[in-house]
Structures are given as C-alpha cells and as structure tokens.
Structure 1
C-alpha cells in the first residue's frame, strides 16, 4: 500500500515539475492561438507571430513526452487540445473556397497570366504560324483540307462548295439543330486541345506547341475555304463571337504547358524540382481560369452566335469580349500581390 502511494506521489511530482518547466510556452501559444481564432491577428506582437511555428513544435514535443511518460490525464487532454488548435492555425487552410475564388478573380488569375507573358508571346507566335501553315498547305493542294479539318466539321464546308452553300452555314441558322451540334463539336475539340496543350507541357513544352500548330492549321484551312468564296469577313465575324474567348483560352493553356516545360529545361539557379513546382502552381492557376473561359465561350457559342445573325453584331460581341479579357489580364491589378502569394488554395 505504501509503495503504491509513493508511486502515485512520485508521478504527481513528476507531472507538476514537467508542467512548471514548460507551462510558460504552453500559455504563450494558447494566447496566440486564441487571438488568431478570434480574428485578432493585429493584436499579436511582432515577437509572438514569428515565434508561432517554434512554439507549436515545442508544445507538440511536450505532448509526445507526456504520452511516453504517462503523465496525468488532465495534462494530456490539455496538450492534445492545444496542439490540435495550433495545427489549424499554423498549417490549416487559410481561406475558405469562396475567399480563394474571390482572390482568384480579384487579381490572382491575372497576376499568374502576366507572370507567364514570355510563354504567351511564344505560344501566340506559334498559333499565328500554325494558321499560316494551314492556309498555305490547302492553297497549294486542296486535298490537305481533308487531312486537316475533322470530318465532323466538314458537312457543306468542303473545297468546291458554292458561295451560297458556305454562306448558309454561317447565316440564318438560329433555329437549326445542326448548328448547335457543330458548336458543341467545336467546343469539345477546343476543350480537349486546351487540356492536352497543358498536360503535355512536361515534355519540355514541345508537344504543346505542336498541338497549337495543328489546331490553328484547321482554322487556317477554313479561312482559306471561306476566303475563296469571298466570305472572309463574315467567317471571321462568325468565329469572333466565341473565338476571342475560346482561342484566347487555348493560347493560355498552351502557354501554361510551355511554362512548365521551360522550367524543366531551363530551371536557372534553382533546383529543377523547385523551379518546376513553382511553375506548376502558377500554370495550374492559369488553367483554372482557362476552364472558366471555356465555359463562357460555350455560352457565347451556344446562344450569342446563334441569336446574332449579322457580321457587325458578331464582331461587336467578339471585340468586346477580347477587350474585357485584355483589360482584365494586363490592366487590372486588384489584390494580385495578396492573391498571387497563394497560387492555389491550401
């Protein structure tokens, strides 16, 4: 009996000594965590905020020791609760999904796009070259048209078609299901191109650029076809309604893939993994916006282009969308400094 009492007394003394040696750090961490939980981060001193990670590790270590030495249940429960609360403050999500989305649209997305401007210029040059290649190939040999343009895009749009037949494909189709099917096919194709252009960036960006060339060669071939019928302006207006958004999205997707590829090939003074990880976070933010642009393009393609049946109106819609995107990406700053520091939601 005496031995049992001595053991209990020894354990109590050990627990008291353990608490007294470390309690100051526990209380300090608890005070910081409580303030942060209540949203009063500005009330935390300049000394306490940088000390937060170290205090968290100290208390976590205390909890580990307390478990191994079987200290009293009250101390264990206190430390477990404190460590859990501190973990959420130190490592937990900083923002809700809505707050992240607000920061994303409020400047984070545009900042990420501006950060890859070199890749955007390269991708743009490649897309222009791809359009020229498509035009030149079919102008030299019309059989190239059938090799470049997918069969589902063909219908009446083939070399040798009359101007009336080609004009009928871009005007007076607001009530025809065929145009909706064509629009859906075009959107599906461009969405796949965008995803692939980004996903293939890991191969130093080369496949991404080749994919852009091929996709734009299709547009070049169709431009040649409509130009031969004297419908270049009308066709451009028909494309512009959704194209200024959709083709811009493809451009950004290709640039995002190229950005990752360039970081792999030319990491600079940074380790390859670090350079690629940073590029990947930035490119992922750009791609999140590309998805949004494709949704907007689908709405324009499915409704605006069918409802507006004259070229000037189509150019007005497409031109307005292009100005909106350019203004947002390159003129709007918003809270990009804050948002860009959080490339992706944690």
Structure 2
C-alpha cells in the first residue's frame, strides 16, 4: 500500500516536472519575440511612436499574431498559469497598439469640428435634397389639409387642452402667444423639454432609416405638416411675419438638425435598397458610420436649438431681432456645411 502511494506521488512529480520543462522550452523558443513586442508596445503606450524604427513598425503586426498564436497554444496545452496571464496581458496591449484608436478625444473633436462633420454631411448630398423636398412637401400638405378642413388642425398639432392656438382664435390671442413672455419662469426646464422632444423626433427619423428610409420620410412629412398647419393659422390673422420670426430664432437650427437626421436615415435606407456592387450589409455599414458621425453633430445642434428656443425666443421680444438671429444661424450652418472645405479631411465610411 505504501509502495503504491510512493509510486503515485512520484508519477505526479514527474508529470509536474515534464510540464515545467515544456513550459520552459516553449518560453525559450519564443521569448525573444515576446520581449521585442513588449518593448514596442511600451514605447507606443508612452507616446514615443516616432522613436520606433521602421523595422519595428513593420514587424509589429507579425509579432502581435505570434503572441496571439503563443497564447492559444499555451491555453490548449495547459501550460503554467503565470505564462498564460503574461501572454493575455501582452496580447491585449498589443491589440490596442495595432487596431486601437490612433487619436485621443481632443484630437477627435478637432478633426470632427474642423471639417469631419461638414464633410460627412456633404457626402449625403442627394439624401439632403430628398429630405428637404419631403419637409417642404409636408409643410404644403399640412397647410392644404387645414385650409380645406380646419378639423385637421387638431390631428396635426399635439397641443394640450389649454392651448389657445386653435382655429377661430382672435388676432390678439395669437399675438400674445408670440410676445410678452419675458417674465416666464422655468425657462431652463422648458429648454430641457424642448431638447428631449426634438431629439426624439431626430433620433427616430435616423433609426428608422434601416427600413429603406420609408418610415423616415413619413415621419418628416408628419412633423412638418404641423408646421404647415401653424403657418395657416397665423396667416389667417395676418401674423405670418411675426410667426416666422418667432420660429426663426431657433427653427433655423432645429429644422436643419431634423433635416440632417432625416437625411442620415435616408442615407442608410438608400444604401440598403441600392447597395451597388457591395453586399447589402457592407453598404449599410459604410453608410451607417457616416450617418452616425452626422448624428453626433445633430445632437449638438438640438442642444443649441433648445437653448435658443427656451431662452432667446422668450427673452427677445422683437420680430426683426428674432429674424436677424435666425437668419444669422442659418447662414452660419450653410457656410460651415457647404462652403467650409478644409483640405485632407477623412470622411467616415
């Protein structure tokens, strides 16, 4: 019995020694490549990329694949845990060096604002034209519907029971909704609500683009039909210019953002419907990356529009001042998106 126990214990010790020997041989055969990869990655992590030689840069991908292959073998053959942990850490660090982002947040923001966003918008040119045409069509349809039957107004406008902007309202009542709101409290909460509502419309228009863009078109028509109904209501009391000024101070930014969101949804839908020579998923992925970059800017535009609507429109009580601010914002957006064309800008996708 004792002899059997000693024999079993000796066999276990021999197995452990054999495993250690295999691990040592495995390490000795590849340790040079691991150490070189570790040194290269350490320099990259320390921001010393320019100090790397051309030979090291060329060898980096191959060294990374060697480390990953070594990790797979170590796991498969159950080599010692310390070696596996080392290779896992090295492979993880090397992955970021080979495939990770090449710029920090500050560099990305500079590239985004200094041409990346505008270039992505211009790349969706035909979709912008289609979205703009759909929004104009929606406004005209809304006007025609309520002019033919005022009951359509209640279907197109989502006002509450206390909203005085209804067909039949007097000029004085409608005029009061446009002016005299300087003393209104809770403007910051109002701005937050407007941002939430406008963001919801824009994100839905973008998200529904995967269905070949059809839901995005319908949402744009429905959203702008309410604008047409509102224009009809105030036009009937001779307040068209006053309403346009009331809308312009924020609307040139807000409607531009909704236009971009709708165009982004159409861009994805059109890529899926007409992928060209690319597979559908590949075309959708390329369009999606470009549209996502545009949507980052859309969110920022909606924040600005909410501030203009929640504060500027309430505090500025003159029609022409409102028109000047709205017109200036429209000119700035058009100049940035279509006139500002810095060289060497990489477009997403």
**TM-score band w.r.t. shorter chain:** 0.7 to 0.9
TM-score scaled by length of structure 1: 0.85
Q: Alignment partner for residue 295 of structure 1, among 287, 294, 303?
A: 303
| 1:137-216 pair list within 5 angstroms | 137-152=145-160, 155-176=163-184, 188-216=196-224
Render the CA deviation track for 1:278-328: whole Å, top value 9, x for unaligned. 212221221222111111111001111111101110011111111222222
Contact 1:157 1:166 (8 Å CA) reproduced: yes
How far 1:194 moved relative to its partner? 1.3
Q: 2:256 matched to which residue of 1?
A: 248
Q: Alignment partner for residue 230 of structure 1, among 199, 218, 238?
A: 238
How far, CA to CA, are the matches of 2:63 and 2:114 in structure 1? 34
How far 1:35 moved relative to its partner? 2.3
Q: Alignment partner for residue 285 of structure 2, among 274, 277, 301?
A: 277
How far, CA to CA, are the matches of 1:99 and 1:205 in structure 2? 33
Structure with higher RCO (Cα < 8 A, 6+ apart): 1
Deviates more, 1:117-126 or 1:78-87: 78-87
How far 1:71 moved relative to its partner? 5.5
Change (3 A) 1:18 1:140: same
Q: Alignment partner for residue 63 of structure 1, among 47, 65, 71?
A: 71
Contact 2:156 2:229 (8 Å CA) reproduced: yes
TM-score scaled by length of structure 2: 0.85
Partner of 1:220: helix, strand, or coil? helix
Partner of 1:300: helix, strand, or coil? helix
Q: Which runs of 5+ in 1 are unaligned?
A: none
Number of matched pairs:
341
| 1:1-346 pair list within 5 angstroms | 14=22, 17-69=25-77, 78-152=86-160, 155-176=163-184, 188-333=196-341, 337-338=345-346, 340-341=347-348
How far, CA to CA, are the matches of 1:49 and 1:213 in structure 2? 53
How far 1:201 moved relative to its partner? 1.0
Deviates more, 1:49-58 or 1:240-249: 49-58
How far, CA to CA, are the matches of 1:216 and 1:323 in structure 2? 21
How far 1:77 moved relative to its partner? 6.0
How far, CA to CA, are the matches of 2:337 and 2:185 in structure 1? 35
Contact 2:138 2:222 (8 Å CA) reproduced: yes
How far 1:108 moved relative to its partner? 2.6
How far 1:151 moved relative to its partner? 2.9
How far, CA to CA, are the matches of 1:281 and 1:5 in structure 2? 57
Change (3 A) 1:17 1:306: same
Change (3 A) 1:307 1:335: farther
Contact 1:108 1:335 (8 Å CA) reproduced: no
How far, CA to CA, are the matches of 2:15 and 2:226 in structure 1? 85
How far 1:19 moved relative to its partner? 4.1
Partner of 1:324: helix, strand, or coil? helix
How far 1:10 moved relative to its partner? 6.7
